[in-house]
Structure 1
Amino acid sequence: MSSIDLAVIGGTGVYRLAALADVETRHLETPYGAPSGPLRIGRIGDARVAFLARHGEGHALPPHRVNYRANLRALKDTGARRVLALNTVGGITGAYGPRVLACPDQLIDYTWGRESTFWDGEGEPLHVDFGHPYAPAFRQAVLAAARAAGVPVVDGGCYGATQGPRLETNAEIARMRRDGCDLVGMTGMPEAGLARELGLDYACLAIVANWAAGCADAGEITLAEVLDNVAAASAGLPHLVERLARG
């Protein structure tokens, strides 16, 4: 069987990867502590794929408490070279409504106080090139896998990463719209930047669970609505990941 190449990080509502067979569980420690939970490593066709639930399999970790450094380092230590991040988000602009899957190509970081680098004061800091925050070639591979699997995915868009865990105000979303954001989530950073520091090819599939504050007359956002929309938008993910793993 081939070595691990692809890792998938699941967000809110995605706590397992249904396509995985012959699953092995690994509990890892890293120099940055323990990851959010066990790594589930299994087979998709002839490919070995690792899966990690970002918030823990029982969703115990809010976005600002996730140990992003440990998560990425654990995936790197398993041998993964490509990381597909599944992020549950809100939609801001018209093409990014509930139940849409999107593969953004840009990112704005509004988070604060998170461990955003592997540099801990020893040696020279690493200033990585981050002009294109998602690895362009890998992002194209994700889009190609989606087309081959017949899964509709919106190509492009800007992800705005907010601190959380509270949802945003109408005014904050209005500012993000003016800044050029199409999507809003709480886990896109520092994850993408840390992946770049480790030399991992990293791309995001954003699962739109609801309209962001003030973007629709939908009333108060409920958890039941969010989870229903995540389930609907995620229905084609096993086929997409299978195609991606083959490549």
Structure 2
Amino acid sequence: MRIGIITGSGTYALPGFEDAAADVVATRFGEVPVTRGRFGGAEVVHVSRHREGHVLVSHQVTHQANISAFAEAGVDAILSVTVCGACDPELPLGSLVVFDDLHFLVNRLPDGSICTLHTEPGAPGRGHWIFDDPFSEPLRAALLAGALDIGHPVRDGGCYGHVDGPRFNTRTEIRMLRQAGVTCVSQTAGPETVLAGEAKIPYALLGYATDYANGVKPEDPTPVSELVRLVAASTGTFAQALTAAVPRIDAAAVRPNGTAFAWD
């Protein structure tokens, strides 16, 4: 089984990646630098969504190209990680969250275009992604087990809220998201979730809470220095959790999430 792994802010390379080799995958949406090798005992293709040195900030991430590169590379499943701001005041900072729902109402890419791989009229495969749950349950189970294996605090379930960057959100915006049931927010994983669904690649998302979003704890807001510290700390935690999770993936149970209804 070939696994795709996407990492974000603070994690530009995977610690413990064996036989790592840089490569470039060409897609119709552009070229994507990837690293191929072995990780957690499996064949892995790694994409750093912001690229080394955080060259791409959130509104510049090439989501369509990244997911298309995984399809071109023949990955069977994608595990993605993101640092995020907690909308739930009861979620301890530094905790992991294995998300089971998505809030991404705008369904748009950073350039304002609709978030989809179906960009050409009449192209084969054009249609709709229809689902009950946006994240793969077998992959969620592996991520949860991996976090428990390393003894790290983890929440099973939560709603991931995608917000546009690169700015952070106002108190009013976060209050609205909290009322909608959002657990954590960040600026990149909404498009990944949708595009992986359209590409028929099972996908799951692991979050790491680095701060309380604006207004969540008005009496004790998270200092920027603490956010920066936790972003740095997330690298090791993500690497350990993913190393433990990858061998726990039940390859026989993993299948595309939902239905890609095509008009062909």
- Tell me if TM exceeds 0.5: yes
1:10 aligns with 2:11: no
Q: Where in structure 1 are there 5+ consecutive unaligned residues?
A: none
RMSD: 1.9
Identity of aligned residues (%): 31
Q: Which residue of 2 aligns with 1:80?
A: 75
Q: Which residue of 2 aligns with 1:136?
A: 137
- Secondary structure (helix, strand or coil) at the match of 2:138 reads helix
Q: Which residue of 1 aligns with 2:147?
A: 146
- Tell whether the 8 Å contact from 1:11 to 1:54 is kept in structure 2 after alignment: yes
Q: Which residue of 1 aligns with 2:119?
A: 120
Q: 1:101 aligns with which of 91, 96, 99?
A: 96
- Cα distance in structure 1, aligned partners of 2:4 and 2:104: 23
**Alignment TM-score, normalising by the size of structure 1:** 0.90
- Cα distance in structure 1, aligned partners of 2:222 and 2:113: 29
Question: How much has 1:48 moved relative to structure 2?
Answer: 1.5
Hey, which bits of structure 1, 4+ residues long, moved more than 4 A?
Answer: none
Question: How much has 1:160 moved relative to structure 2?
Answer: 0.9
Q: 1:92 aligns with which of 59, 80, 87?
A: 87
Aligned length: 241
- Tell whether the 8 Å contact from 2:96 to 2:154 is kept in structure 1 after alignment: yes
Q: Where in structure 2 are there 5+ consecutive unaligned residues?
A: 249-264
- Secondary structure (helix, strand or coil) at the match of 1:150 reads coil
Question: How much has 1:6 moved relative to structure 2?
Answer: 1.2
Query: CA-to-partner distance for each residue in 1:177-223, whole Å, 9 max, x for gaps?
Result: 1111111111121110000111111011111111100112344752x
Between 82-91 and 211-220, the greater mean CA deviation after superposition:
211-220
Question: How much has 1:227 moved relative to structure 2?
Answer: 2.6
Q: Which residue of 2 aligns with 1:198?
A: 199
Q: Which residue of 1 aligns with 2:174?
A: 173
- Cα distance in structure 2, aligned partners of 1:100 and 1:114: 33
Query: CA-to-partner distance for each residue in 1:16-39, whole Å, 9 max, x for gaps?
Result: 10020111110122111123xx21
Q: 1:32 aligns with which of 13, 29, 32?
A: 29
Partner amino acid, structure 1, of 2:157: G
Q: Which residue of 1 aligns with 2:59?
A: 64
- Tell whether the 8 Å contact from 1:104 to 1:155 is kept in structure 2 after alignment: yes
Between 25-34 and 237-246, the greater mean CA deviation after superposition:
237-246
- Secondary structure (helix, strand or coil) at the match of 1:174 reads helix
- Cα distance in structure 2, aligned partners of 1:110 and 1:99: 27
Equivalent residues in 2 for 1:44-59, closer than 5 Å = 44=39, 46-59=41-54
Partner amino acid, structure 1, of 2:226: E
Q: Residues 114 and 184 (structure 1 numbering): CA distance in 2 closer, same or farther, change over 3 Å?
A: farther
- Secondary structure (helix, strand or coil) at the match of 1:176 reads helix
Partner amino acid, structure 2, of 1:16: A
Q: Which residue of 1 aligns with 2:261?
A: none
Q: 1:21 aligns with which of 18, 22, 25?
A: 18
Q: Residues 144 and 220 (structure 1 numbering): CA distance in 2 closer, same or farther, change over 3 Å?
A: closer
- Cα distance in structure 1, aligned partners of 2:165 and 2:18: 34
Question: How much has 1:149 moved relative to structure 2?
Answer: 3.1
Question: How much has 1:148 moved relative to structure 2?
Answer: 2.7
Q: Which residue of 2 aligns with 1:237?
A: 238
Q: Which residue of 2 aligns with 1:159?
A: 160
Partner amino acid, structure 2, of 1:99: G
Q: Residues 114 and 9 (structure 1 numbering): CA distance in 2 closer, same or farther, change over 3 Å?
A: farther
